[in-house]
Amino acid sequence: MARSRASMSEKRVGYAVLGLLACLAVWLFAQQASFNPAVIVAMNHPKGAGRIVTGQQGAALSQTAGFLADLQGFPALSPVEGYTPESLSDKIDGKAELYLASNFQEMACRAFAAENAGNARVETFLYAMESPKDAFAVFSGQRRPGADQLPLAQNAYATENAIFLTKGRYYLEFVADHASPELRPALESLAQALLAALPEDTAQGAETDLFPAAGLRADSVRLAVSDALGMEGLENVYTAEYALAPGEASAFLAVRATPDEARAQADAYAHFLASNGFKELKPGEDLPASLAGARVLVLEDMLQVVMAKGRALAGVHDAANRKAALELAGQLAKSLEEKKP
C-alpha cells in the first residue's frame, strides 16, 4: 500500500518543533557552560593543585616531568610535581606573574639529595617556556648581581647555594638547602646530568650580540618582555650595563620586524620621554657626528639617546654623566652600523 506524503503545512510544523528542540538544547548547553564557578570554589577545597607526575603515565603527560624521572647519582627525595599556567602560583605564589608574562608553558620540580655535599637537599625546577628568548627573560629578570658566571651553558651563574641557567627554551634552577664548600661541584654535576637529558640548544643571543663589547658587564644583560623602560606597551627590549672610562651607562636594544616599526617605536619612546619632562636637543647641538639621526633628550642631569638603525630600536637610557651617555651611544651606533640588523 502506498504511504501518504506529509503536506507542506505538516512539514512546517515538524520543522518548527525540531527547531524549538534544537534551540532548547543549545540553551541547556549554554546554561551549563556558564555555571557559576564561585559555587564550585566555595564548596570544594583544592586537593593539591600541583599534579604528582611520577611514573610513566605522568612523564607521558608532561613535557618536563620526564626529564626529572631519574638523574643518575642523585637519589630523589620527593615525587615529581608538575604545574601549568593555571596552577603555577600554587607553587611559587606571586612570582608566577614573572613567568606568565614570558610565555610560560609548564614546570616540573623535584628534590634530589647531593650525597657528596653533606646530603644537601637540592630542589630542582625545570621551566618550559615558549622560546629561548622567554627563558632568557625569566633568567635575566632574576639575575643575582655579583654571582659567579659558569661555563655550563650560554647563560649560567652560581650563588653560594644555587645554580641558575637556561638551555634553549628551558630555564633551570638548582637550589640547595645550605651552602658548603662541596656544594658547588655537586650542583654542577646535577646540572650537567639534567642538561645532557634536555634537547640540544638552538641559537640564542643574536640580538644581544648587537651590543658593543667594550665595557659591557657580562652578567648585566636583561630582557624586559613587557612595559620596558617604564613605557607601557614597549615589549621585548634588552638592556645592558657598561663600565666606561667617563662613568657607568646603560644601553637598550630591540630588533623589530621592519625598519619602519623600529622607527615608529623610537618616535613613540622619544614622545614618552618628552611627556615626562625631557627636552629634545636640536640636531647638531653639541653632538658628535656619529650620532647623526639619533635623538637626544635631557631632563636636568639625565640624558637619554634614542635611535633607529635598520630594524633596531636602540639607545642609552641611564648614565652617570653626559660624556658616558654619548660615548656609549656612539659605540652602539657604530656596532649597529657594522652588524646591520
- Per-residue CA distances from 13 to 5, 8, 197 (Å): 14, 9, 67
CA gap 154, 171 in Å, rounded:
12
Provide the grid cell at 117: 655535599
- Per-residue CA distances from 267 to 255, 261, 308, 325, 331 (Å): 15, 10, 9, 19, 21
| Contact of 120 with 180, CB cutoff 8 Å | yes
Q: Please name which of 168, 307, 185, 167 lies closest in space to residue 176, comparing C-alpha atoms.
A: 185
Nearest to other proteins of 178, 217 (CB atom): 178
Nearest to other proteins of 48, 151 (CB atom): 48
Nearest to other proteins of 103, 265 (CB atom): 103
- CB 5, min distance to other proteins, A: 6
What are the φ/ψ torsions at residue 46 (nearest 5 degrees)?
Answer: -65, 135
Q: What 8-state DSSP symbol labels residue 159?
A: -
Nearest to other proteins of 86, 300 (CB atom): 86
Instruction: Give one DSSP letter per residue of 24-70, joined into a string.
Output: HHHHHHHHHHT--HHHHHHH---S-SSEE--SHHHHHH-SSGGGGS-
- CB 125, min distance to other proteins, A: 8
Q: Please name which of 306, 321, 300, 323 lies closest in space to residue 252, comparing C-alpha atoms.
A: 306
Provide the grid cell at 59: 612523564
- CB 31, min distance to other proteins, A: 17
Nearest to other proteins of 105, 159 (CB atom): 159
Residue type, 291: L
- CB 17, min distance to other proteins, A: 12
- CB 147, min distance to other proteins, A: 7
- CB 298, min distance to other proteins, A: 26
Nearest to other proteins of 48, 284 (CB atom): 48
**Interface residues toward other proteins, by CB under 8 A:** 2-7, 38, 41-50, 78, 81, 89-98, 121, 123, 142, 144, 146-147, 159-162, 164, 173, 175, 177-179
- CB 25, min distance to other proteins, A: 15
Provide the grid cell at 273: 620621554
Nearest to other proteins of 127, 269 (CB atom): 127
